[in-house]
Amino acid sequence: MEWCLENARFRMVVQATGAELSELWDNHHQRSWIWQPQAGVWNNSATLLFPVVGQLIHNGLWQGERFFPLTAHGFLRHQTFSCVSQDATHLILEASDTAETREVWPFAWRIRLTWRLNDDGISVDWAVINPDCQPWGYSLGWHPGFALPVSREAGWQVRFDRACAGPFATDKRTLTIPDDAPDVSAFILSPDSFAGGAVYFALGEGNRWAVCSPDGREQIVFSGSQKWLALWGVPGADLLCVEPLNGTTDDPNFDGQIANKRGIEWLAAGETHHHQLSLSFPADSERQAG
């Protein structure tokens, strides 16, 4: 099952499995922005991460004496979403806990995604809902891949409107954040940028960032509520994953207790958290990054 939204410029397709954005065709640029699965490179397009982000070095999480045998990035990307409503510009999808998810994470949960197709791009709101009678901790992230000629063309970069801490390279899918972290306003991609894995940045609240082509023009502009950004790709492939995250992969010295995991948010019984993100794709005449 899949759903489609279309306007004069864009056509977007979302799959029922994982609510994965599988296509974003742009009539203006006559191209598809989203990476298409490719064996041996990356076999996804844009996956959702919940209730954890990244690698779990203990093969799960502890909450006191209780152990939850979660896998890397959690289980949301494998869940089947249903359509709540759809019109010409909006698509609302929802998934909730199942017997299978409760075996590894024994909580009631619900995720509601609201996609919106705009004249210049797309926006999404993730509503994380706790229908349980107890609080639980979680991380939420989005892992979209973009088909960009980053291996064929030197000089691609990611620029930040507000300087942020980073870059922080991962080592065997773990992440150490030094106390004296530098601030950067740009990250220039190189052939070995992701030789060791993903690279993280601490965005802070409400930052704006853009993927810029070698001529300095903004190709994809992001604005969101996420506190972390991970960049990832496969050396030699024209793939750039730009991952807005609330949470990170584990610290190598993490003790496994969810209360001590970097980026965990706690959601009280009966409450809802909203996470927003917008993506725009400037026309050729729009502003050049400085």
Please state, rounded to an integer, the average pLDDT across all residues of the chain: 96
Q: What is the mean pLDDT of residues 211-224?
A: 97
pLDDT, residue 285, reads: 36
Q: How confident is the model at residue 79 (pLDDT cuts 50, 70, 90)?
A: very high
List of residues 6+ apart from 74 with CB closer than 8 A: 49, 50, 51, 52, 53, 105
Q: What is the mean pLDDT of residues 111-139?
A: 98
List of residues 6+ apart from 238 with CB closer than 8 A: 147, 148, 149, 150, 151, 152
pLDDT, residue 77, reads: 98
235 has pLDDT over 60: yes
List of residues 6+ apart from 45 with CB closer than 8 A: 20, 21, 22, 23, 34, 35, 36, 37, 144, 145
Residue 286, domain member (yes or no): no
284 has pLDDT over 90: no
Task: Copy the structure tokens of residue 77.
Answer: 């990307």
Please check whether residue 63 is in contact with residue 104, taking contact to mean a CB–CB distance below 8 angstroms: no
CA distance 234 to 212: 18
Amino acid at 224: G
Check which CATH number belongs to the domain holding 78 and give it.
Answer: 2.70.98.10
Please check whether residue 51 is in contact with residue 109, taking contact to mean a CB–CB distance below 8 angstroms: yes
Residue 250, domain member (yes or no): yes
Task: Copy the structure tokens of residue 25.
Answer: 């065709």
Sign of CA dihedral 100, 106, 110, 111: negative
Q: Which region among 8-17, 94-103, 280-289 has the lowest average model confidence (pLDDT)?
A: 280-289
CA distance 130 to 113: 15
pLDDT in tens, 161-171: 999 999 999 99
pLDDT in tens, 93-106: 999 999 999 999 99
Residue 101, domain member (yes or no): yes
Residue 99, domain member (yes or no): yes
132 has pLDDT over 50: yes
Predicted TM-score (pTM) of this structure: 0.95
Please check whether residue 104 is in contact with residue 86, taking contact to mean a CB–CB distance below 8 angstroms: no
Q: What is the mean pLDDT of residues 118-131?
A: 98
Domain ranges, residue 46: 2-280
pLDDT, residue 223, reads: 97
Alpha-carbon distance values, 212 to 67, 233, 269 (Å): 43, 16, 42
Q: How confident is the model at residue 283 (pLDDT cuts 50, 70, 90)?
A: confident
Residue 289, domain member (yes or no): no
Task: Copy the structure tokens of residue 139.
Answer: 């991380």
Q: Residue 100: phi, psi to the nearest 5?
A: -70, -45
The count of domains in the chain is: 1
pLDDT, residue 227, reads: 96
pLDDT in tens, 42-77: 999 999 999 999 999 999 999 999 999 999 999 999
* R_g (Cα) of the chain, nearest Å: 19
Unique residue bearing structure tokens 């496969």: 234
Residue 288, domain member (yes or no): no
pLDDT, residue 80, reads: 99
Residue 285, domain member (yes or no): no
pLDDT, residue 287, reads: 41
Q: How confident is the model at residue 205 (pLDDT cuts 50, 70, 90)?
A: confident
Q: What is the mean pLDDT of residues 126-153?
A: 98
